Structure 1
């Protein structure tokens, strides 16, 4: 009897001890949550402010780079105007129009130092911009603030003749054209605004969370309540000194965190903004999770107290044994994982979790909700590229539906660096999948090397055009295909020799000769279509295969365009040599190979040279194949 009473008292003591420990644990958990919640909020804020700073830096670098590229585009276009005089307005306007369309300028013009200007429409006018001409006369590039109430700015670079500033090439460009390249949507919790040195908004992201109503930021800030005793004048002085900073403001009960830094152009600034409500929502979610965990612990503790008797201790021993076995298996798994770059993972649909067994120093698997790896979240965090997004999205949808996924290679950012990984998936049952990310970097490197070797074997090392062997293969392939499937259109082989190239090579040197060949190759690639072929047979002999032209007139237009773009002078003064092209054109009718067309084109080339060079000549065969028709 005493023994049973002692056993009962012992059990009661254990239950009371468990209950007391449980209550203490609950109090400690609540206290720890209360103390550390503000710290968590601060960490969240710091994390997102890092993203805001990154956005600001990204916007700054992108706009600076774009404007530098626009200046470089104007600067590099000078050579085409060296031979252009006042009596060549139509030619100058055409070159200016090419620059405008190629680089997206609203208007492009050429002006002397007196302000006499011609634009890409051929219109002549007088420019009155003292600040611009002061910079140009000193050999400096010029960028204006936005003009009037538009988002247009003026970019100008010095124009030189005989190593002296002779005028300026200028262009009007839309700031919004640059802003549109920044990948932030209009509902993002981060957005940016750009101001000029007077405080006027040059551009903004059009975000729905923006409060901006006035075009001047300094007037706009007077409407807000700025925290920590910071004033609008203090912010303005910091900007005037060319320094950056951060501040917080609220308006109509809504808060914003702001970081600002100079753009490096005309004392322009980028203001990047983080929506405070986003942090509050995120913190609330964390708070909800914590309270959910707390209630789970409380319920578990109450159940634990209710389990009286020796069976509770038996269960504890079983749990301990099971945990030891699980820990042993996990340790074994991590020992293997640490010595490979492959990353195993497990998908649990019942619990909506995805567990990653990483090869980092941590011996605990990383468990997150499946939605954490959703395509949109991966893209927004910069863990996959926009190019990878469609394939990743399709694979993710199949994974969610529990469908079989064939191994596929993705470029992903893992542990802070970009790697190629091949995704392998195996379905265990309707609630569970397992798989691993195979390290595919070495295979991709080998494939890239093979691709580079293949390209090098197909192309001319100097011009990047197809070499003789590969051009012949591609041309013969097309002739064979079209012979079996005629489409009624016209194809032709263009054989080109550069006029006076030997003179340029001897007079100006082989380096200039190589430059001429490269430039001619680039020009030919630029004017033909993607479906056409371009190659260099050797020396100054080039070849084009124009496929499926509409009619003979289209071939003539193409030939005239080639003659036009290849005609250019090199060198100066008495050492100047004008390069042009003589072109023999063989229209394909019944010829069976590239060699047949080449013989015809070679005869046509002879005719073009015989007529005085810098021209083209077209030949084709009669239906009976016996007579050459000459055009």
Structure 2
């Protein structure tokens, strides 16, 4: 056997050791370099992910706020339209009775004030204040049949509010304007978007004025200047300029940009709310992302040093540290996920249920904290009208309405919101179903909507309707006609029967009076002029007869009078003739003039009867005898 010289073996071992040490050092250096490069790549990627997740959350939260704000405004207009129903067609818009009804609505809603404006621009609110409206654009737009919502205004306390108005209709025609003032802080009450997270929001109107002022300490704009002045202060990256942002806003477009001011940066997203060219600006301070990323980078740097040290010590220790790193990264990712889903906090503030329908998969997913896991998936076949009705989950009175909404959903078509009663979470609840958006990506078609909890508003609507019916009932039970102040039919009948029963032998005259050509005045000059004529006739009747004679308006242009204690037919003829002469009048409006007169029928008590029911048909027969002869006269009833 050949023997190796010791010096050769030593040299060989040294050479191999140097090679091993060199290869190990080279390997460690390569690992260190690759690890360092991976660290910087990880830091950059982590920053991008944090930024993208935060901007995505900001945009989603801003979008949800926009839809919530729009829904709130629609709800305000719905309240105004419900309030319009309370006003009777015969009521004068500025009278006390109208103000009392509107005041009731104010107490039951979040409106701070309500009022009306007539066709002449005269206005009155529930506080009794009268004024004249000179805003021609506002009046013209509403009287043209359109809804109106103002830009920001401020009350005496400096609180910003919106003015919402709708046209009022009486007998099928626009008779004036119904308006209400709504404090912006009440509109935004349910959307507490600044209580959590790093982003902050501000809303501006079409003039660039700040509607809301952010409470965030990171906000640059304090509301002391308008948006356009603020934008001129900032330095923009890429091709963004203040003029370009203003141009996009004037065209109703959304956008994002990055800007700096005094070495401080902001990532900003702006979206139109859909009302009066208003925009919501959502801003994310760069410092918050940088601080979070720096914290993560510092942690990662510490981990890198520890890993490199562990590589020198052996293979086991790095593995232990890798396990530690895994758990640290997992915890940080959990924190990041919670942070990036902050818009879920807004969802927890409401009873609404957003949903997404995946039409190709025939699935609909409902989102609510009340579901286990936060969502619930159903097959579209399970929410068909017939299925829900059979399972007693759909009220029978809402079947047709829900059927239309379901058809729109299956056709991927948005439409007007519909109000239905569904069984949800074990109880029947009123919801407003809104199909908000449809988006398509290839063969994938999805519909996004929301089940807005309408239970509270439904109860308010039912209460308003109950009070309206109660007001109608009380009006019918009152003693006087609301327009003329004379007795109404029920009260007149009771008094006539009571009086004639106490005076069965003395002569009394029962008169029915009908105005000639009154319909022509109503049709030509309008119902306002017609109401003026009726009040003039009522005043003439009061002046023509004694205070203890009974006078009433039965309805329309029909009046009745009971003249007490008369001596003969001659006295009746004298009084009736004088009445006819007093009621011959001419009314003028512009270049149009029309005249009225009166046709009068007379029955006598006790000759022709001793009750209202007996006297009325005989006086009515005498009245129509006058009309057959040509009107403008009177006739005493005779059996022939």
TM-score by length of 1: 0.51
Aligned to 2:282: 272
Aligned to 2:607: none
CA distance in 2, matches of 1:133, 1:219: 32
- Over 3 Å counting, the alpha-carbon distance change for 1:239 and 1:460 in structure 2 is closer
244, 248, 256: which one aligns with 1:238: 248
CA distance in 2, matches of 1:438, 1:137: 47
118, 124, 133: which one aligns with 1:118: 124
- Over 3 Å counting, the alpha-carbon distance change for 1:383 and 1:7 in structure 2 is farther
- Over 3 Å counting, the alpha-carbon distance change for 1:88 and 1:278 in structure 2 is closer
272, 282, 285: which one aligns with 2:295: 285
Alpha-carbon contact 2:86-2:468 (below 8 Å) kept: no
TM-superposed deviation, 1:239: 1.6
SS in 2 for 1:201: coil
- Over 3 Å counting, the alpha-carbon distance change for 1:144 and 1:522 in structure 2 is closer
**Aligned counterparts, 1:64-103, within 5 A:** 64-83=70-89, 85-86=91-92, 89-103=95-109
1:508-565 residue CA offsets vs partner (Å, 9 max, x unmatched): xxxxxxxxxxxxx9689859xxxxxxxxxxxxxxxxxxxxxxxxxxxxxxxx989836
TM-superposed deviation, 1:354: 7.2
Alpha-carbon contact 2:57-2:340 (below 8 Å) kept: no
TM-superposed deviation, 1:236: 1.6
SS in 1 for 2:124: strand
TM-superposed deviation, 1:202: 1.4
CA distance in 2, matches of 1:255, 1:222: 15
SS in 2 for 1:203: coil
Aligned to 2:202: 193
Aligned to 1:564: 470
- Over 3 Å counting, the alpha-carbon distance change for 1:354 and 1:168 in structure 2 is farther
Aligned to 2:64: 58
2:374 aligned with 1:368? no
Aligned to 1:380: 342
185, 190, 207: which one aligns with 1:176: 185
Structure 1 stretches lacking a partner, 5+ long? 305-311, 323-347, 356-365, 389-414, 423-436, 447-451, 464-520, 528-559, 571-631
CA distance in 2, matches of 1:160, 1:102: 23
CA distance in 2, matches of 1:191, 1:61: 18
CA distance in 2, matches of 1:155, 1:421: 37
1:160-193 residue CA offsets vs partner (Å, 9 max, x unmatched): 1222111111011112222332222367421111
CA distance in 2, matches of 1:420, 1:150: 36
CA distance in 2, matches of 1:440, 1:142: 39
- Over 3 Å counting, the alpha-carbon distance change for 1:140 and 1:87 in structure 2 is closer
SS in 2 for 1:202: coil
CA distance in 2, matches of 1:82, 1:352: 75
- Over 3 Å counting, the alpha-carbon distance change for 1:562 and 1:192 in structure 2 is closer
21, 25, 28: which one aligns with 1:22: 28
CA distance in 2, matches of 1:126, 1:15: 97
Deviates more, 1:19-28 or 1:175-184: 175-184
TM-superposed deviation, 1:45: 2.1
TM-superposed deviation, 1:104: 1.0
- Over 3 Å counting, the alpha-carbon distance change for 1:225 and 1:180 in structure 2 is farther
Aligned to 1:159: 168
- Over 3 Å counting, the alpha-carbon distance change for 1:33 and 1:417 in structure 2 is farther
SS in 1 for 2:344: coil
CA distance in 2, matches of 1:524, 1:52: 35
TM-superposed deviation, 1:281: 0.8
CA distance in 1, matches of 2:113, 2:461: 27
Aligned to 2:55: 49
TM-superposed deviation, 1:301: 0.8
Alpha-carbon contact 1:187-1:207 (below 8 Å) kept: no
Alpha-carbon contact 2:202-2:212 (below 8 Å) kept: yes
Alpha-carbon contact 2:269-2:282 (below 8 Å) kept: yes
TM-superposed deviation, 1:260: 1.3
TM-superposed deviation, 1:387: 7.3
Deviates more, 1:51-60 or 1:274-283: 51-60
TM-superposed deviation, 1:385: 6.0
CA distance in 2, matches of 1:99, 1:462: 27
1:192-232 residue CA offsets vs partner (Å, 9 max, x unmatched): 11111111111233222111143311112222223335332
- Over 3 Å counting, the alpha-carbon distance change for 1:568 and 1:29 in structure 2 is farther
Cα RMSD after superposing both structures: 4.8
Aligned to 1:327: none
- Over 3 Å counting, the alpha-carbon distance change for 1:524 and 1:565 in structure 2 is farther
Structure 2 stretches lacking a partner, 5+ long? 351-364, 383-387, 399-457, 477-640
**Aligned counterparts, 1:479-628, within 5 A:** 526=463, 564=470, 567=473
SS in 2 for 1:54: helix
SS in 2 for 1:246: strand
CA distance in 2, matches of 1:225, 1:203: 24
CA distance in 2, matches of 1:568, 1:13: 109
TM-score by length of 2: 0.51
TM-superposed deviation, 1:567: 3.9
TM-superposed deviation, 1:75: 1.4
Deviates more, 1:101-110 or 1:26-35: 26-35
205, 213, 216: which one aligns with 1:204: 213
Alpha-carbon contact 1:379-1:385 (below 8 Å) kept: no
CA distance in 1, matches of 2:220, 2:75: 33
CA distance in 2, matches of 1:196, 1:122: 30
1:110-150 residue CA offsets vs partner (Å, 9 max, x unmatched): 22222223322243333222111111121000111112575
Count of paired positions:
386
CA distance in 1, matches of 2:297, 2:21: 31
Alpha-carbon contact 1:110-1:118 (below 8 Å) kept: yes
TM-superposed deviation, 1:302: 0.9
